Copies of this chain bind each other. A is one copy, B any other.
């Protein structure tokens, strides 16, 4: 049952020089954001940090206090640039230890190809539990409110699958989009007025240019289905009163 009395927030720390160099396009943030939304948890902040012990530790320590949940992606493989476990252990002031279940999983996965290097992926901050990775064996790690996940999107998603429904959350954020072929600057006052009249609803305005024309999608968000519906209908009426066709859904 969702807890209706408070808002649960999460943040994501994306760890990796490959993101900051522009080599790799992050594909985890948007997926995690939507996944958290379903769990009744709001992604409130994200940071991208270098493969650097101090940078990772600083972000972890700032954010684990500010949010209900901290997710990290990246840096948990077997190579020398995979330093997430060490950095988070340092941030928390705990040792790095071998997790016996992780060691067993890796030994089963690799069989006789197991090596000390591959067993590095069984190293965890002391006090951790594991997040199953049905896809490639090497598990994710949970310590306190920190969830340490892989950077490779298919693996991250398989780890999130195993966490489905396991995290306490509040009411899920609902959204509804009204699209219109208009310049957002033409309807800016109207948007502000409709939002103000609907407590508990926010309206975001996202302009676009397509087929030589200007349009905008107006995204209404609320945890209350009744507020969402009445805000969407008020916005539709207000747009049409200005002679602007409003589409129910994104255009």
Q: Which residues of A contact B (CB under 8 A)?
A: 17-26, 29-34, 37, 42-51, 55, 77-81, 115, 117-118, 120-121, 152, 154, 173, 175, 184-186, 188-189, 191-192, 195, 202-209, 219, 221
Chain B residue nearest to A82 (CB atoms) is B205
B204 contacts A17, C-beta separation under 8 Å: yes
Q: How far is the CB of A119 from chain B (nearest CB, A)?
A: 10
Interface SS majority for chain A = mixed
B45 contacts A77, C-beta separation under 8 Å: no
Chain B residue nearest to A42 (CB atoms) is B20
Cα distance, A48 to B14, chains bound together (Å): 11
B43 contacts A22, C-beta separation under 8 Å: yes
B46 contacts A50, C-beta separation under 8 Å: no
Contact of A49 (CB < 8 Å), options: B26, B45, B48: B45
A47 contacts B50, C-beta separation under 8 Å: no
Chain B residue nearest to A216 (CB atoms) is B79
Q: A203, A207, A221: which has the most chain B beta carbons within 10 Å? A: A207
> CB-CB < 8 A to A33: which residues of B?
20-22
> CB-CB < 8 A to A117: which residues of B?
185-186, 188-189
